[in-house]
Structures are given as C-alpha cells and as structure tokens.
Amino acid sequence: MKVVIVGGVAGGASAAARIRRLDEKAEIVVFERTNYVSYANCGLPYYIGEVITDKEELTLQTPESFWMRFRIHIKVRHEVEKINVEKKTVTVKNLETGEQFEESYDKLILSPGAKAVMPKGAEGKERVFQLRTVEDTYRIYDFVKEKQPKNVVIVGGGFVGIELAENLHELGIQVTIAQRPDHLLSPIDYDMASFVHAKMRKKGIPVLLKKSVEEVRQSEDKVQIQFQDGVLETDMAIMAIGVTPDSTLAKEAGLALGQKGSILVNDRMETSEKDIYAVGDAIEVTHYITGKKAVISLAGPANKQGRIVADNVCGGDSRFKGSQGSFVIKIFDLTVAATGINETMAKQAEIDYDKVYLSPMSHAGYYPGGTVMTLKVLFEKNTYKLLGAQIVGNEGVDKRIDVLATAMHAGLTGLQLKDLDLAYAPPYSSAKDPVNMAGFMIENIATGKVKQYFWDDRKELEEKENAIFLDTRTYGEVKRGMAEGYRHIPVDELRDRIEELEKGKPVYVMCQSGLRSYIACRILQQYGYECYNFAGGYRLYSSVTAEKEAAVKAMPCGLEIEV
Amino acid sequence: MKVVIVGGVAGGASAAARIRRLDEKAEIVVFERTNYVSYANCGLPYYIGEVITDKEELTLQTPESFWMRFRIHIKVRHEVEKINVEKKTVTVKNLETGEQFEESYDKLILSPGAKAVMPKGAEGKERVFQLRTVEDTYRIYDFVKEKQPKNVVIVGGGFVGIELAENLHELGIQVTIAQRPDHLLSPIDYDMASFVHAKMRKKGIPVLLKKSVEEVRQSEDKVQIQFQDGVLETDMAIMAIGVTPDSTLAKEAGLALGQKGSILVNDRMETSEKDIYAVGDAIEVTHYITGKKAVISLAGPANKQGRIVADNVCGGDSRFKGSQGSFVIKIFDLTVAATGINETMAKQAEIDYDKVYLSPMSHAGYYPGGTVMTLKVLFEKNTYKLLGAQIVGNEGVDKRIDVLATAMHAGLTGLQLKDLDLAYAPPYSSAKDPVNMAGFMIENIATGKVKQYFWDDRKELEEKENAIFLDTRTYGEVKRGMAEGYRHIPVDELRDRIEELEKGKPVYVMCQSGLRSYIACRILQQYGYECYNFAGGYRLYSSVTAEKEAAVKAMPCGLEIEV
C-alpha cells in the first residue's frame, strides 16, 4: 500500500506516524509546502516573544528524524498542485527547483490546513505580516529585531491575534488590536470578554472594536490601515482576522465541499471520493454539542483525526466523535478557557438555554496564592443538559474547563456536577470545588429555590415601576462602588430590616459574586417576597459596565487616526 | 422544626447553613466539642509550617458570624454525651462549666468525625501529639516555638503524616517517618509510592517502613517509641497512624453500625433510627467504583453529605451517590493524586483488571516549565470500565486526576478517554493530552496492538530461558543506567539490526517511558516476533528498584536506635 499525505503538520504528521506503527510495509510519502514538518504550530507566537528561545524547540522533528524512526519520506518545499482522481496520482511541484512530477497513491490523505484571511492590499507588503508557518514566524521575528518597530496594529483579536499582542507587548512594542466584532475572542460571550478587555486596557493595549478593514497600504516605512471610519498608521501590521479552509486542491478535484469551503468528510474522515481522506483545519466536522456541522480550527481535534484516518487507511474502523471546541489561552496572567457552545451559538442553534455565573476561588481561601475566577455554565432548560462553559481567571481555569469538557462529553447534566468526587487539598481546590458549586446552583434553579436576572436584563427591569433593587454587600464594599438605583441592606441585617422593603414589590438582589444575594433571596422568598438573584454579582456587573464605557473612550495611543 | 447537630465542622456546618437557607423558621442548634466551628480542617498542617500565618484564616467562621448570617446557635465546648432516642433529646455537657442539660430535637444530625488511633502509652504525654483539631494545632505550634525540638518522629505516613513531615521539615526540624505499611500513602500503589519515597529521601527524611509501634514512653525531655524491632528516641512524636470513626454516641444509643465501627446510613444519610441522620468521617459509605461498603475520611464527600442531609431533613429527597476516594496532596514540589481504586483494592474486590502507565509532560515540551508526570490508569479487563487512576508529578497532576475522576463518575470506559475534547494551548497541555494518551494506550491493548509486562513480572520472566530482554533507548541514555540482563538496540537502528534477535524467542522491550519500546514492539510484531512492552519504562523500573534498595538502607539520621 502506498499512502500519500498532503501537509506534514498536526493531522498529517500524526497520520503518517500511526500508519507506520500499524503497517511496517506501507510506503508513506508526505508533501509539505513549507520547509518544516510537524512543527510546534501553537508555539509560534512564543518564539516571537522569546518565551521559546531555541529555534529547534519549534522544529523538533525533521524529514531525517521521520525517516530514521518511521521510514517515512517527507518532502518539504513540495506543493501538491492537483489531484488526478481517475489516475490516483497527484501532481507535485518542487518549490526549490520548479520541477513538476506525478506521484501515485493507493490512499490519499489531505491535511492542507487553513489559510489566513487577507484584506485588500495586505499581500506582499514588507511591513504586513500573517502568522501561520515557521517561515511567517521568522519573518516577524527578524523584522522586529532589524527594524525595531515602535508600534504594531494587530488586525483580529482571536487566538493568534491575542497571543501575538501579548508577546509583542512584552518585547516593548506598543500594540493596538483592531477588529470587526464587538468583543475579543469570539468563542466566549461579550460579558466574559469584558475581563479580557480590562486586562488589555490595563496593559496599555487599545482594543478598537467594530472596525472593519477596507484596505491596507504601505508608504515607505509606514503601514496605513483603512477602516470604514478612519485610518490607522503603524510601523507594522499583522493580519490575524481569521482563517479559511485551504480546500482549493479538493475543490478542483471535484470533492464535495461543506460550509465555508471546507472539505466534506464522514466520521471516518472519508471525502466524497474513494480512497481520499481529509483531516484538520480544512474539513467540516460535527459539533459534539449541537450535532450541527461546523468548521473548527484547533490542534487537538486535528491530531485525533490524524490517528483516526490512519486506522481507517490501514483497514480499521475508527470514528471521529465530533469536536466540542474546547480551548484555553494565556493572556498575560489571565487564563481564559471554554468548551461547548456560547450564548450566540445556542441562539443560532435555537436551543432554549439557561445559565449560571459564579466567582469561586481557585483553591481554599485560607491557603495563600488563590485567585478568583469567573465561571459561566450554559445548560438546556428542562433537560439541564450541559451545553457550554466559559472561564476567566488565573490558576486552575484550565482544570475546571477540562472537567466540564469531560462532563459534557459524557453527557452529564448540570445537576450531576454537584455529585462529582473531585480531588481536594487546600493548595489545589476547595472541599466544594467550583464545578460542584456550579452544580449546586443549577440544582437550586431546577428546584425553584432561586430565580435569576442578568446584566443584560437591566434596562428592561429599570422600566418596571414597582421593582426594588437591593444590594446586600457590606458597608465597605458599597462604598467602593454600587450599581445605579440600588438600595443597600447588608445580608446580615436583612432579617432585622425586612420591614423596609415594601411587600408586594419584586426584589432584585445583588451582592459581590451572587452568593450572599442568594442567601438574601432565600430569606426574602420565605418572607413572601418575589425575588431574583443577580447572576455574576457586582463583580460581573462592574466589569461589563466599565467595559462599555471604556470601549467608547479607547484610543490607539501613539498612533495617528483620522476619523 | 428543631434540628440538633452534633459536630460543627465540614458536614455539620454545611448541613446547618443549608437547613437555614431551606427553612427560615427552623430552630438550629449545633454542639461542638472543641472551641472552634467550621474551621479549615485541611489547613492545620500549614499553620504549623507557617504557610498560613494568620490564625483567623483557620477559624474564619465563629459562633457569632453563624448567628449573624444564619441565626444558628453554635455551642462550642459542648459535648453531646448521650442520645435519648425514645425522648428525642440529647444529653449535653458544657465543658467549660461541667453543667449537664438535655436538649430536645425533632431531627438529629450526627457529624462527630473520626478520632486519631493512639498507640499504648501515647495519650497524655507532653511531647506526644496528634493533629485533628485547632487545639491540637496550637499545641504543636506552641511546643515547636517554645521547646525548639531538633527532631520529630511522625508515626504514620498518610495525608496528615506527610503534610506534617513537609511542614516541620521546612521549619528546620529533622523529621523521620515510621509506619507499619510497606509504602507511604496507602491509597496509591507501591510502585507509584516509590516516587514519594525518593522525594523524602532527597529531602533527608528517613522513611522507616514495616515498623509497628508497640508502646510510646516519655522520660524527661525525650520520647521513646518502641517498635517491634527497636526503639527510636526523639524530642517529639506525632501520632498520625490513622483515624477511626467516632461512633461511641451512636453505638451507645443502639444505632446500627457498619464496618470499622462506622455509623450505618442509607443514601439519604438516615441511620437505623428514625429522625437521626449521620454524615462525614464517622459513617460508612458505598464506594462508587466497587459498589462495596467503605469508610472514607475526606472533606469533599463530608461537605456533600452535609448538603444532602439538609435537603432530606427539610422534606426533600437528595441522595449521596457514593464516594470514589479522589484525593490530591502536595509533597514538597510533588503533587500526588488518585481517584477510584488501586491494585490492592481491585484484588480485594476480586476485579479482573489491567493497567497502563505513562510519563507525559504536563504541557507542550517546547514551552518552558513543563514537567514529567507518571500516570497509572486501572481498568477492568474485557469491559475496559475505568477503575482508578494515580498520578505523581508536579504541574497539572490535579487537573488530570479531576478529569479522570469525572470520566469515572460518568461511567466512561478507558477507550473513551481518547475522544475527550480537552482544552489545549502550549502553557497548559499538549494537543494530545495525557488523558487522551492513556486512552490511546488502552485502545492499543484492546485491539491487540501491544502486549505489556510489568516491573513485578521481572523475577518470573528472568526464569524464562528463552526470553530476549531489549532496551531501545539511545546510547547516551543506557550509559546512565540500564536494567540487568538487557541487550541494547536503539529503536532507530532496530530495522537494520533485527537479524541480531533470534527468531522464535519472545522479546521483552523497555525504553525510558514506554513510547519508543511501543514503536519497537510494533516493528517486531510485524516481523513475526512475539513481544511485550515494559509498562512505565526504565523511569518506573529504576524508581521502584532504587526504592527497594534504599528502603533497606534507610536510617533515622540523628536518632538513637537499638535493634
């Protein structure tokens, strides 16, 4: 059997190694367009920021090492230009020599990845960059060393944009992020992103939202980025708007395509054409939570697909169970992570959902070093099926998202989170872990012990004439800031002062995190009040509110802008 | 409704607060023998070690704060001496005044906890300590400050013994641990404990195994601990042998008891007597994995039980789903964690199990700061049902044990671990997370791609005349140490040198972690050899072997011993 693989990173490289382990006699040829194979894709921004200092760390595997261990032929700087489906060959161009040749296959695996979306005028400019390959990385690294740019505009605030922002900021370059969406990191919701916006602002990185790039120009040693409402001028620009499946090859060969031009595959990674498989960022997958088709560019699923396709190419029957979009990202000292779907996606999928917010400590409060995280869990109304979770914090965020991802994968409901027997010691957790706490809260909703209201209900509620808005924090806390229109009674005084609250009016209660206001709600409810607990507390309220104000004021410091 | 709770820590305190949230009108009285309520039980060793420096951190809740927020009467220094089942009262003694009185109840919740096992002669000695309460903590703390002991013997190497060893060592006291079992931390297996033994040795803490205490004496300013085979003399001794359910009260009232004198309850936390409930370390629970009865002293389950009993006392129907014994412990810079059952427990439960060992990095190798962990996963043969996991490492150990605990709780099989969509970014994980890797390995066993052998098979195998033992590491690696009787062919030379291995003989392959030897096995198998992969690699082999040798040599430095 002869297997040809197009693309030698992530899925392609995984597939090649696994095929050899399964079949010592297969002939395996990998064509990789760039000069590097199986490189540390997700490490590239950290090489630019000199967090990873050794070039070889990025490119640990070489064509030679693959040959030594696996007897796999890796041809770098070789671009597959055409699939000749009938003949079962590919037409390949050696990018070094320009030579063209045909290579036959019994099985063909496409792992071409995705390509960066480039706005008009962005291609081919000396001071305009993208970051997909090792070559892109060195180009940025060398430019920064040689030209010492004072400032950079990163267009796009997704994973790559944010990681580059951090790394370039740490090198002392003034960074600005500009993007079309109304919040950074689109896989999380606006409210959770407000913590990310705050971190950027604190680091002196302006975040310009709702800016869509119309054109990129370069004049001498400046780049001009033309937005719909003005121009930003900068020493260098990086295009990190997003990626699109690199499916030209598949399309021209007549393979069936899915959404966004992705390659259509079944759960065995088979394309519409016999003996042609595809994996990684170029394909369409089934979303594990919604069951709907999606394009998800992440390294974890790509590597799993590589292993699955190897099994199937070698006569096995492995199935990809779908992707639930789990991710984690470091943003300075913040960790942000999510799994499953967010509110936007739930609405698109027309799922009737509810949600809880909580602000637990990463570990026992009495043991030094703990930090507060904000955890948001989405679940389906009535069934309580877990739909998604988002966490912003520092320590222990990655742990809780993986626990929630596992619970979701296993089909647990939100109610079952309370029963999880998680490992506790003061340096690591609390006797009631944040994930258990989320379960307790969901159960309290399910059993009618508490009703909630949300930051984006505020406006609607303010119009209710009869409502009482009540803040139950301490005197010290409300002195430092309080939401507009709220009265103040500390929870510990509530029983004695309950007469101050007019009977018959609904009470909307808030505290710092939502715990004391929950206790207040329990008291009020039993005294006959209709009451609602503010989800996320003043902590979330002030972050979302402050962010709205700050976003309007944000200016790209040190850059010229005409509006 | 009037609820009386015996014991104001963990389960008792949780129950009290939850009952108030459910029922504003209930009368709630808590009797606590010590002077402190709802204190940070698991933080006590860290106060002694001055990691927690503020006394108030340990005892954040007070009878006053409970009254303020919850209108709960907490009576500290009150011991419940008798339950008068017929009259529905308890007889209480005020330990300050000596006064006795009767208190009636509608519902009674027992949360008495467990008491330390004390050897003959250990009680009432000035220089002999135990650690269960805040008072015990201050006693040790003050003794260390005032008497400045040079050395301490800790009898017992469980959670408390080990945490105390670390904390007293960090204060500059020479620590020795002595215990009856053959390895520290009995919830993990001997092989995994070898890494803990190595850490202790590195820190200069002798670990004396298979030493059982016959008597403890004190003469002037020295404690003599009489073992079966000698005497240790020390400035102070701490008894941390273990705990036993504090069920005297229940027993005398005629309540049904379970194993080890624990209080028998059903999954609603109801004892054999109507309107009497029990929670926490004193009760017998169902082990979630084996379905058998067990006594498990951990804070997580105790707190969950407190919430459940509150629901049931207030007319609800909450059920305790069982405990799976998840724990994590910090041991200097090591983190050790486990969930489910270990090999000893699997054998006792007569479960036919298999296991995998792996040594993955905590996060992507190319991103700085990653560390290697050793992960052991037990699963049932044939069904592949997950039974237990143990991990020793540094960063990310707590995360993986919680993911595995969740998978186990949800009833996933070992095969399903490969499909988990966990969050990946270089500072946190690898594209193939350690837990996914465990799943890949279990699948390789299930599909017959590899057969394993283990460190404790060694002796049996050596007697096989025909076997070939093969080390496939690099030249550099084998120079630093190699198992006896092994031949050396690096994996990358194996195909070229395969003729050196006599056909027809089984080949037992080893590498550093088990990955390269797996690749070697795949090659050999396809060349027609019967072959076996050494689980855990030379890394585990050398740890277990070195430990066996070192254990024999271990001496309690700085202490007198007569044998």
* Tens digits of residue pLDDT in B281-311: 999 999 999 999 999 999 999 999 999 999 9
Range scoring the smallest mean pLDDT among B58-67, B143-152, B282-291, B456-465: B456-465
Average pLDDT over residues B305-327: 97
Q: Is B449 on the interface with A (CB under 8 A)?
A: yes
Rounded to whole angstroms, the Cα distance separating B386 from A410 reads 13
Contacts of B498 in chain A (CB under 8 A): none
The DSSP string of B265-307 is --TT-B-SSTTEEE-GGGB-EEBTTT-SEE----HHHHHHHHH
pLDDT exceeds 80 at position B507: yes
Would you tell me which residues 142-161 of chain A have a C-beta closer than 8 angstroms to some C-beta of chain B? 159
Which pLDDT score, from 0 to 100, does residue B197 have?
A: 95
Range scoring the smallest mean pLDDT among A286-290, B332-336, B458-462, B498-502: B458-462
Average pLDDT over residues B160-188: 97
CA dist A169 to A128, A231, A332, A449, B460, Å?
17, 22, 10, 47, 60
Which pLDDT score, from 0 to 100, does residue B547 have?
A: 74
Which pLDDT score, from 0 to 100, does residue B563 have?
A: 36
Q: Which residue in A10, A23, A425 is closest to B329 by CB distance?
A: A425
Contacts of A495 in chain B (CB under 8 A): 71
Q: Is A175 on the interface with B (CB under 8 A)?
A: no
> H/E element holding B532?
strand B531-534
Phi and psi torsions of B545, nearest 5° = -65, -50
pLDDT digits (tens, 9 = 90+) for B243-254: 999 999 999 999
Position of tokens 């904390």?
A: B167
Mutate to test the interface with B, among A137, A373, A406, A417 (most CBs of B within 10 A): A406
Other CB atoms within a 10 A radius of the CB of residue B471 amount to 27
Q: Which residue of A has its CA nearest to B316?
A: A447
Q: Is A527 on the interface with B (CB under 8 A)?
A: yes
Which pLDDT score, from 0 to 100, does residue A552 have?
A: 55
Q: Which residue in A71, A407, A491 is closest to B410 by CB distance?
A: A407
pLDDT above 90 as % of chain A: 92
Average pLDDT over residues B241-270: 97
CA dist A110 to A16, A280, A311, Å?
12, 9, 15
pLDDT bin (cut points 50, 70, 90) of residue B552 is low
**Tokens at B504, concatenated:** 């027809």
Q: Is A333 on the interface with B (CB under 8 A)?
A: no
The whole-angstrom distance between B248's CA and the closest CA on chain A is 26
The answer to whether the Cβ–Cβ distance between B522 and A335 falls below 8 Å is: no
pLDDT digits (tens, 9 = 90+) for A116-174: 999 999 999 999 999 999 999 999 999 999 999 999 999 999 999 999 999 999 999 99
> H/E element holding B552?
helix B537-553
pLDDT above 70 as % of chain B: 97
Contacts of B409 in chain A (CB under 8 A): 416, 419-421
Rounded to whole angstroms, the Cα distance separating B206 from B204 reads 6
pLDDT exceeds 60 at position B264: yes
pLDDT bin (cut points 50, 70, 90) of residue B551 is low
Other CB atoms within a 10 A radius of the CB of residue A135 amount to 11
Rounded to whole angstroms, the Cα distance separating B269 from B280 reads 10
Active-site residue list of B: 42
Q: Is A403 on the interface with B (CB under 8 A)?
A: yes
Rounded to whole angstroms, the Cα distance separating A337 from A266 reads 28
The whole-angstrom distance between A418's CA and the closest CA on chain B is 8
Q: Is A328 on the interface with B (CB under 8 A)?
A: yes
Contacts of A326 in chain B (CB under 8 A): 421-424
The answer to whether the Cβ–Cβ distance between A424 and B321 falls below 8 Å is: no
Q: Is B306 on the interface with A (CB under 8 A)?
A: no
Q: Which residue of A has its CA nearest to B25?
A: A526
Active-site residue list of A: 42
* Structural domains for chain B: 2-114+245-313 (3.50.50.60), 128-241 (3.50.50.60), 333-446 (3.50.50.60), 452-535 (3.40.250.10)
Which pLDDT score, from 0 to 100, does residue A563 have?
A: 36
Q: Is B234 on the interface with A (CB under 8 A)?
A: no
Rounded to whole angstroms, the Cα distance separating A420 from A442 reads 14
pLDDT exceeds 50 at position B562: no
Contacts of A339 in chain B (CB under 8 A): 421, 423
Q: Is A423 on the interface with B (CB under 8 A)?
A: yes
Size of interface A-B (CB pairs under 8 A): 241
Cβ atoms A463, A502 nearer than 8 A: no
Higher pLDDT: B285 or A563? It is: B285
pLDDT exceeds 60 at position A561: no
The answer to whether the Cβ–Cβ distance between A402 and B399 falls below 8 Å is: yes
The whole-angstrom distance between A12's CA and the closest CA on chain B is 14
Q: Which residue in B21, B366, B398 is closest to A519 by CB distance?
A: B21
Average pLDDT over residues A36-42: 92
Q: Is B410 on the interface with A (CB under 8 A)?
A: yes
- Contacts of residue A60, defined as CB under 8 A and 6 or more positions apart, other chains included, come to A38, A39, A40, B365, B366
Quick one: how far is CA A257 from the chain centroid?
Answer: 25
Which pLDDT score, from 0 to 100, does residue B554 have?
A: 56
**Tokens at A363, concatenated:** 């570990």
Percent helix, strand, coil in chain B (nearest 5)? Answer: 35, 25, 40
Q: Is A307 on the interface with B (CB under 8 A)?
A: yes
pLDDT exceeds 60 at position B37: yes
Contacts of A40 in chain B (CB under 8 A): 364, 366, 426
Average pLDDT over residues A347-372: 96
The answer to whether the Cβ–Cβ distance between B69 and A427 falls below 8 Å is: no
- Contacts of residue B418, defined as CB under 8 A and 6 or more positions apart, other chains included, come to A304, A307, B436, B439, B440, B442, B443
Average pLDDT over residues A346-353: 97
pLDDT bin (cut points 50, 70, 90) of residue A461 is confident
Average pLDDT over residues B28-33: 98
Contacts of B405 in chain A (CB under 8 A): 420-423
Cβ atoms A59, A39 nearer than 8 A: yes
pLDDT digits (tens, 9 = 90+) for A188-247: 999 999 999 999 999 999 999 999 999 999 998 999 999 998 999 999 999 999 999 999
Longest dimension (CA), chain B: 88
pLDDT digits (tens, 9 = 90+) for B331-375: 999 999 999 999 999 999 999 999 999 999 999 999 999 999 999
The answer to whether the Cβ–Cβ distance between A52 and B324 falls below 8 Å is: no
Average pLDDT over residues A554-562: 50
The ipTM of this complex is 0.96
Phi and psi torsions of B334, nearest 5° = -85, 150
Q: Which residue in B43, B300, B492 is closest to A422 by CB distance?
A: B300
pTM score, two decimals? Answer: 0.97
Cβ atoms A302, A282 nearer than 8 A: no
pLDDT above 90 as % of chain B: 92
pLDDT exceeds 90 at position A546: no
Which pLDDT score, from 0 to 100, does residue A557 have?
A: 45
